[in-house]
């Protein structure tokens, strides 16, 4: 049995000494709690509170409403949306902004997603967190991940490039067959094809110019509207002209990038939105924050 150290020390002190020790302990505890409260108040006053997202909006979700308040809707068909991001800022919230709008239409196979990045369960989990549903009757998921080992080129060279082109042609035929079997050969006029992410094709050894042709022609033959997510870190360095060509082709360009000042707990990154219409181009620079179950977008200076 352990000795009672408190009783031992108490017996070794006089009444006045014991009272002084007790008062000092209470003083230290109160001082510690007051400092914690003061630091919290100071932190909030310096950082400011993030703005509450607009009420209402798509699917009754605060995240979707915040995105819809600042981002344009899907363009009229035929149309193309290009979403780019980098390693410091993920463009997935903006992909889901357009995905939620497309899935809201209660039309069979109105939305198709070709994914080189994640399984179907990933998109369903993110959709639930953001407050919308990938409806089985209108959502066609094409898992391209199993195709990657079959398409990977060991080394990119003058002799391997024709092989890569042939593999892209095989991919086009495979995807066209899936769409034809699922939609009885036709798709609705307002249907949308999503590609996440197209830059994976260049990692397989397929030339960037052929990836551009696949998006600009083959993909648009499958669906009248196309939304493409590109991770531009490596693609911009290898083939900047392909990224610029896709941006020129798109009716809407959403460019997510990291903060110029580095990491911040109050913002995940910046996003530039360029919308093209017959009335001219409109560009907006915004900030966004991605948390565990919400996405907030706001204009700089309007926190």
Q: What confidence tens digit (pLDDT) does each residue in 135-160 have? A: 777 788 888 777 665 555 444 444 44
Across the range 164-181, mean pLDDT stands at 70
pLDDT at 198: 82
Return the SS3 of 89. Answer: strand
Cα-flanking dihedrals φ and ψ of residue 246, to 5°?
Answer: -65, -40
For residues 255-270, average pLDDT: 85
Residue 146 near residue 178 (C-beta atoms within 8 A): no
Q: Which of 249, 288, 284 is nearest to 97 (CA)?
A: 288
Token pair, residue 143, equals 């898992």
In this predicted structure, the answer to whether residue 15 has a pLDDT above a threshold of 80 is no
- pLDDT value, residue 14: 76
Structural contact between residues 287 and 297, judged by C-beta atoms closer than 8 angstroms? yes
CA distances from 97 to 58, 68, 90 (A): 9, 7, 13
**Average model confidence (pLDDT) for the chain?**
76
Q: Which residues contact 240 (CB under 8 A, 6 or more apart)?
A: none
**pLDDT exceeds 60 at position 215:** yes
How does pLDDT run across 74-109, given as a tens digit for each residue? 888 788 999 999 888 889 999 999 998 888 866 655
Looking at residue 255, its pLDDT comes to: 93
pLDDT of residue 282: 87
Give the pLDDT confidence score for residue 285 in this predicted structure. 92
**Mean of pLDDT values over 194-221:** 80
**pLDDT, mean of residues 175-203:** 75
Eight-state DSSP code of residue 215: I
Identify the band that residue 123 occupies on the pLDDT scale cut at 50, 70 and 90: very high
The answer to whether 101 and 58 are in contact (CB under 8 A) is: yes
41 half-sphere exposure, CB direction, 13 A CA radius? 6
Instruction: Report pLDDT digits (tens) over 22-61.
Output: 888 888 888 988 888 887 777 666 444 444 433 333 333 5
pLDDT at 194: 92
pTM of the shown model: 0.71
């Amino acid at each position: 049995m352990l000795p009672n150290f408190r009783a031992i020390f108490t017996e070794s002190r006089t009444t006045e000494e014991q009272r002084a020790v007790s008062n000092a302990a209470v003083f230290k505890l109160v001082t510690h709690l007051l400092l914690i409260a003061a630091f919290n108040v100071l932190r909030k006053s310096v950082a400011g509170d993030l703005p509450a997202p607009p009420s209402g909006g798509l699917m009754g979700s605060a995240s979707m409403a915040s995105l819809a308040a600042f981002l344009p809707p899907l363009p009229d068909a035929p149309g193309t949306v290009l979403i780019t991001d980098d390693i410091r800022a993920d463009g997935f919230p903006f992909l889901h902004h357009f995905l939620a709008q497309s899935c809201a239409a209660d039309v069979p196979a109105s939305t198709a997603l070709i994914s080189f990045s994640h399984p179907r369960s990933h998109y369903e989990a993110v959709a639930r967190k953001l407050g919308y549903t990938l409806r089985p009757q209108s959502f066609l998921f094409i898992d391209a991940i199993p195709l990657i080992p079959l398409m990977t080129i060991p080394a990119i060279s003058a002799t391997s490039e024709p092989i890569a082109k042939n593999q892209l042609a095989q991919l086009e035929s495979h995807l066209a067959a899936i769409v034809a079997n699922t939609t009885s050969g036709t798709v609705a006029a307002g249907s949308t094809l999503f590609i996440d992410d197209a830059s994976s094709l260049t990692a397989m050894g397929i030339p960037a110019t052929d990836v551009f042709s696949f998006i600009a022609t083959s993909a648009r033959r499958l669906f009248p509207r196309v939304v493409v997510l590109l991770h531009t870190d490596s693609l911009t360095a290898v083939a900047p002209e392909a990224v610029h060509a896709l941006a020129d082709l798109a009716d809407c360009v959403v460019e997510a990038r990291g903060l110029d000042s580095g990491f911040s707990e109050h913002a995940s990154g910046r996003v530039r939105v360029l919308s093209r219409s017959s009335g001219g181009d409109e560009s907006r620079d915004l900030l966004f924050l991605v948390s565990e179950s919400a996405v907030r977008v706001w204009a700089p200076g309007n926190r």
